[in-house]
Amino acid sequence: MKLILEVPGVSCSHCEAAVKSEVGRVVGVGNVDVDLTTKLVTVDGDHLDLQQISAAIDEAGYEVVGHQEVR
Ligand SMILES: [Cu+2]
């Protein structure tokens, strides 16, 4: 499955690295893509937990303002 999260706070490669690092530690996460233009974080993996992923993004210092799940 895939989770697409709206994270308006990401603005540069440092933000991208911070988000990828924190989200990458969440169980089940395979790939993490951060689009700095659209401000969308796309997470691929198995049995992804939205709460855990949101918490990881929060931990990195950013806020999730919306999400979409693609199966
Ligand atoms: Cu930045």
What residue segments make up the domains of the chain, in order of their start? 2-70
**pLDDT tens by residue, 38-56:** 999 999 999 999 999 999 9
Residue 6 Cα to ligand 1 middle (Å):
15
* CA–centroid distance, residue 59 to ligand 1 (Å): 14
List C-alpha distances in Å: 24 to 43, 61, 71: 9, 15, 20
User: Under CATH, what is the fold of the domain 2-70?
Assistant: Alpha-Beta Plaits (3.30.70)
The residue with greater pLDDT, 1 or 71, is 1
Q: pTM for this structure?
A: 0.95
Beta strands of 1-71 (E only): which ranges?
Answer: 2-6, 29-35, 40-45, 66-70
**Residue 4 alpha carbon to ligand 1 centre in Å:** 19
Q: How far is the CA of 55 from the centre of ligand 1 (A)?
A: 18
